[in-house]
Amino acid sequence: MKRVQTVLSARDVRLAFAVSRFNERVTKALLEGALEAYARLGGDLEEAWTVWVPGSFELPLAAQKLAQRPEVDGVVALGAVIRGETPHFEHVSAQAAGGLMQAMLASQKPVAFGVLTTDTPEQAEARAGGKAGNKGAEALYSAVEMVQLLRALQTPG
């Protein structure tokens, strides 16, 4: 059986971060968690791109444009969609998820889904560095792992 193993290291992994300004208190915390994790894994913060977009709906286009850049190995998309009293939540969260998947497949580079979809602001805060950890850091780990996996799969033998 052939097995591909990777090391969770961000050394020489150049990432970009696309972050939603909507629910900025939460998304800033997600970004902080992601950047701290990136640095812990040996990533170069000076080389990282960070772009802010109006909301989670706009994340896919920014992620796709970032992923098209040759100096970017992967993208971490961070946002927070909190359920309200209308069906707007379902539309935005579904389109953000589908759009980010399309951006990943079109670019052939990892686009990590760090978009919270919660019922309440308290749930979002708990997942942005509170009791439930930091989902921004988790998205960062996914992006790094996928960059390393794709590199390993490109290596002959």
CB 60 within 8 A of CB 20: no
CB 26 within 8 A of CB 116: yes
Lowest mean pLDDT among 43-57, 62-76, 83-97: 83-97
- Write the DSSP symbol of residue 131: T
CB 86 within 8 A of CB 49: no
CB 49 within 8 A of CB 94: no
Q: Is 60 exceeded by the pLDDT of residue 157? A: no
Tell me how crowded residue 39 is: count the other CB atoms within 10 A of its CB. Answer: 14
pTM of the model: 0.94
Q: Is 80 exceeded by the pLDDT of residue 5? A: yes
Q: Is 91 labeled as catalytic in the residue annotation?
A: no
Q: Is 90 exceeded by the pLDDT of residue 3? A: no
Residues annotated within a binding site for (2S)-2-hydroxy-3-oxobutyl phosphate: 85-86, 127
Residues annotated within a binding site for 5-amino-6-(D-ribitylamino)uracil: 22, 56-58, 80-82, 113
- Which position among 11, 88, 91, 151 bears the catalytic label? 88
Of the candidates 117, 110, 75, the residue with the CA atom closest to the CA atom of residue 96: 117
Residues annotated within a binding site: 22, 56-58, 80-82, 85-86, 113, 127
Q: Could you tell me the domains of the chain?
A: 38-152 (3.40.50.960)
- 68-92: per-residue pLDDT in tens? 999 999 999 999 999 977 778 888 9
